[in-house]
């Protein structure tokens, strides 16, 4: 049997998958896709900026997001980031259609890494009291904070204890509530940003 020839691009059925008399790339379907997709990725932590948030790269979330930007008569679809191709299963005949959507990775630095490199912090956790308890609590707090959306700018030994400098004060408030720790909280005005007052919060924990 002789090869089919696509009337639109001239490809042969031995060179590409065919649907009816067209190759899969030229088969007339109603699908609208983005010309290309730009994705910001942090050069330091490799997190990507998706849906307004910085998070570790997740192929499924990226696929869902890009397919959400596509329109057409398809019943299901997925995006292959390695090939930079969206694969659509069409309604009615279940034909598989592929469309190229180039993925441009824009290298940048996320806000958290930028703040870390600049020594930024919003909160100080002051641990005071028995040295053994201070050591135990500091290890526990560092472990818990590492799982949240913040960072430790530095650790500093003090007379009678240890200070932990934390990037996000709201995260510290949340963690203190989760752990049920009694803290003495004080705030200090450290500046303004576009008219908004900026405070640094200290959490004193006596052990």
Does residue 6 sit within a domain?
no
Q: Mean of the pLDDT values across residues 12-21?
A: 81
Does residue 132 sit within a domain?
yes
Who has greater pLDDT, 146 or 19? 146
Q: Are residues 130 and 160 in the same domain?
A: yes
**Digit-coded pLDDT (tens) for 134-184:** 999 999 999 999 888 899 999 999 988 999 999 999 999 999 999 999 999
Does residue 134 sit within a domain?
yes
Backbone angles phi, psi at 126, to 5 degrees: -100, 115
pLDDT at 29: 78
Does residue 145 sit within a domain?
yes
Does residue 14 sit within a domain?
no
pLDDT over 60 at 1, yes or no = no
Q: Which domain holds residue 185?
A: 119-206
Residues paired with 72 in a beta bridge: 31
Q: Are residues 104 and 35 in the same domain?
A: yes
Task: Tell me whether residue 52 is exposed, middle or buried, using C-beta atoms within 10 angstroms of its C-beta: 0 to 12, 13 to 18, 19 or more.
Answer: exposed
Does residue 18 sit within a domain?
no
Q: For the chain, how many residues are written? A: 207
- Domain stop point among 85, 110, 135: 110
pLDDT at 15: 83
Q: Are residues 178 and 102 in the same domain?
A: no
Is 0.85 topped by the overall pTM? no
pLDDT at 9: 87
């Amino acid at each position: 049997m002789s090869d089919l020839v696509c009337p639109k691009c001239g490809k042969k059925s031995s060179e590409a998958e065919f649907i009816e008399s067209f190759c899969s790339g030229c088969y007339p379907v109603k699908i609208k896709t983005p010309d290309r997709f730009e994705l910001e990725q942090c050069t330091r932590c490799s997190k990507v900026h998706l849906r307004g948030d910085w998070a570790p790269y997740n192929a499924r979330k990226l696929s869902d997001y890009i397919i959400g930007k596509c329109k057409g008569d398809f019943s299901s679809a997925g995006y292959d980031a390695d090939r930079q191709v969206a694969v659509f299963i069409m309604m009615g005949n279940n034909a598989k259609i592929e469309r190229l959507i180039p993925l441009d990775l824009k290298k940048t630095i996320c806000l958290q890494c930028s703040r870390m490199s600049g020594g930024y912090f919003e909160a100080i956790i002051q641990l005071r009291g028995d040295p053994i308890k201070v050591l135990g609590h500091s290890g526990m707090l560092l472990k818990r904070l590492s799982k949240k959306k913040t960072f430790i700018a530095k650790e500093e030994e003090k007379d009678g204890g240890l200070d932990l400098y934390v990037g996000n004060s709201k995260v510290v408030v949340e963690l203190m509530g989760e752990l049920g720790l009694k803290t003495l909280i004080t705030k200090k005005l450290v500046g303004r940003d576009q008219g908004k007052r900026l405070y640094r919060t200290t959490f004193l924990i006596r052990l």
